[in-house]
């Protein structure tokens, strides 16, 4: 069991990499700090490294845990796991159980936010505070990205098209597609290579295709309907130059979740790495909001 009061540390803690077994899979995670737990969940196609600028400063306030989601970074997926939405959301509960965490502050980005929104709706007793950053959430993507990701799902589900995702060129498709983030300094070539490492092995590419086979790009009206049920302190942190997700998604989250705060940041999708200090400050303010 966790408590709702934390005595902040005077200095940040060293970051430790650990792993734990979850239903036959390996979960790799970074941990720092003491006190009430704060879980930071990344999105596509990243790992816990997406939060590297936030881990140390937030460890002054919380026991911070940043996992590599299953199938990403150094975490694995167990054979036979489904990647549909319901299965992935419930996997968060299994992850928290394996980590011995009852109730957490939960900040999540992109795909992590998509899953996190479903989790806070289904398991409100396990989320003390909720923050969501640039995520399709209850909505979907802008037209170009809807088409792109929709094509990924079609290819993954069709036997004749699946090799588009399971052969070596898919690594370079992603590498070229994300080259703009190298040019603008969001991350360097080595970091991008680590994010895309799964696409360099046959097994990784098969798992990637399996992920897309279970993914659904359509809007999630059932998530939108239940936004008003979220009662924990919620902050929506949004990069306003986001190319893939409409700003209306953030505005609906802030409007329909009672008491939610919307913080706009001059960044695009990977805002934790583009504007690390601003994101960290926004998360600090969120963690100071009273929770019961």
Residue 3 main-chain phi, psi, to 5 deg? -105, 170
Predicted local distance difference test score (pLDDT) of residue 13: 65
Mean pLDDT, the chain, rounded, equals 95
pLDDT reading at 169 higher than 80: yes
pLDDT reading at 189 higher than 60: yes
pLDDT reading at 75 higher than 80: yes
Taking a C-beta distance cutoff of 8 angstroms, is the pair 28, 40 a contact? no
pLDDT band at 44 (very low <50, low <70, confident <90, very high): very high
Taking a C-beta distance cutoff of 8 angstroms, is the pair 22, 90 a contact? no
pLDDT reading at 9 higher than 50: no
pLDDT reading at 1 higher than 80: no
Stretch 60-86: mean pLDDT, rounded? 95
Nearest to 243 by CA among 177, 112, 145: 145
Predicted local distance difference test score (pLDDT) of residue 209: 96
- Reported as a single tens digit per residue, the pLDDT across 88-131 is 999 999 999 999 999 999 999 999 999 999 999 999 999 999 99
Q: Strand (E) positions, the chain?
A: 16-22, 25-32, 37-41, 63-67, 104-109, 127-133, 234-239, 261-265
User: What is the rounded (10 degree) CA torsion for 56, 253, 116, 212?
Assistant: -110
pLDDT band at 12 (very low <50, low <70, confident <90, very high): low
- Reported as a single tens digit per residue, the pLDDT across 226-248 is 999 999 999 999 999 999 999 99
pTM: 0.94
Taking a C-beta distance cutoff of 8 angstroms, is the pair 235, 282 a contact? yes
- Distance CA(53)–CA(162), nearest Å, equals 36
Q: Locate 123 and state its tokens.
A: 């398991």
Q: Domain residues of the chain, as ranges?
A: 16-140+220-287, 153-217
- Distance CA(57)–CA(148), nearest Å, equals 36
- Distance CA(20)–CA(27), nearest Å, equals 5
- Write the CB contacts of 133 (distance below 8 Å, at least 6 apart in sequence): 107, 108, 109, 110, 113, 236, 237, 238, 239, 271, 272, 279
Query: What stretch of H or E contains 113?
Result: helix 111-122
Nearest to 27 by CA among 120, 108, 91: 91
Predicted local distance difference test score (pLDDT) of residue 8: 42
Nearest to 38 by CA among 58, 15, 57: 58
Regarding the domain delimited by 16-140+220-287, which CATH topology (the fold level of the hierarchy) does it fall under?
Answer: Rossmann fold (3.40.50)
């Amino acid at each position: 069991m966790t408590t709702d009061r934390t005595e902040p540390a005077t200095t940040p803690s060293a970051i430790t990499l650990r792993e734990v077994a979850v239903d036959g899979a390996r979960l790799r995670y970074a941990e720092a700090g003491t006190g009430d737990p704060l879980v930071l969940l990344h999105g596509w196609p990243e790992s816990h490294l997406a939060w590297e600028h936030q881990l140390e400063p937030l460890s002054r306030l919380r026991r911070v845990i940043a996992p590599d989601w299953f199938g990403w970074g150094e975490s694995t997926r167990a054979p036979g796991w489904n990647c549909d939405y319901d299965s992935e959301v419930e996997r968060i509960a299994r992850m928290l159980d394996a980590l011995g965490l009852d109730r957490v502050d939960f900040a999540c980005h992109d795909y992590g936010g998509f899953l996190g929104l479903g989790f806070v709706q289904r398991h409100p007793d396990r989320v003390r505070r909720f923050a969501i950053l640039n995520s399709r959430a209850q909505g979907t993507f802008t037209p170009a990205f809807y088409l792109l990701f929709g094509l990924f799902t079609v290819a993954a589900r069709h036997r004749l098209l699946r090799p588009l995702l399971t052969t070596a060129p898919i690594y370079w498709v992603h590498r070229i597609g994300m080259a703009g983030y190298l040019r603008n300094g969001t991350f360097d070539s080595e970091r991008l290579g680590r994010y895309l490492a799964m696409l360099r092995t046959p097994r990784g590419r098969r798992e990637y295709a399996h992920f897309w086979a279970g993914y659904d790009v359509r809007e999630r009206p059932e998530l939108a309907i239940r936004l008003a049920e979220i009662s924990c302190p919620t902050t929506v942190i949004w990069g306003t130059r986001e190319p893939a997700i409409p700003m209306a998604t953030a505005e609906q989250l802030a409007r329909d979740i009672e008491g939610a705060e919307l913080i706009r940041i001059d960044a695009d999708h990977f805002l934790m790495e583009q504007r690390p200090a601003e994101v960290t400050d926004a998360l600090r303010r969120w963690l100071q909001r009273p929770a019961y």
